[in-house]
């Protein structure tokens, strides 16, 4: 058995080395060995003011945000309760009253 880490994208155990890169045969993701060690550190999510966010926090939207695929807008000052942090481009998963389930970027919210 190899001592290579699982794929950080899909968690596949079938990773292999190609030169200086590690490769996943299931999702074709490639990353460097040094990035594998850096990804083991815990990610820290911060709001627009630099405060650390955690799952279950309440945040406030700091500016009007257009909702993709709709003509509605989430107004600045809207409170969002019980957020869930995810490792994605839009790093907050939440439910907003009147809009439903959606994802927000942490740079557009502040911790309440």
pLDDT in tens, 38-86: 555 567 899 999 999 999 999 999 999 999 888 999 999 999 999 999 9
The per-residue pLDDT for 3 is: 82
CB burial of residue 22 (10 Å; 0-12, 13-18, 19+) = buried
- Alpha carbon distances (Å) from 87 to 20, 39, 76, 104: 25, 11, 24, 12
Global confidence as pTM: 0.63
Average pLDDT over residues 14-35: 86
The per-residue pLDDT for 37 is: 54
The per-residue pLDDT for 55 is: 92
In whole angstroms, give the CA distance from residue 98 to residue 79. Answer: 12
């Amino acid at each position: 058995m190899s001592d290579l880490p699982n794929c950080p994208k899909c968690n596949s155990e079938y990773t292999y080395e190609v030169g200086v890169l590690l490769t996943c045969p299931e999702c074709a993701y490639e990353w460097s060995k040094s990035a594998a060690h850096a990804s083991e550190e815990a990610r820290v999510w911060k709001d627009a003011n630099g405060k650390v966010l955690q799952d279950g926090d309440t945040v406030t939207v700091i500016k009007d945000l257009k909702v993709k695929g709709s003509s509605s807008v989430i107004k600045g000052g809207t409170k969002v309760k019980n957020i869930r942090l995810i490792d994605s481009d839009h790093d907050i998963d939440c439910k907003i009253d009147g809009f439903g389930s959606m994802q927000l970027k942490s740079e557009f919210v502040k911790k309440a």
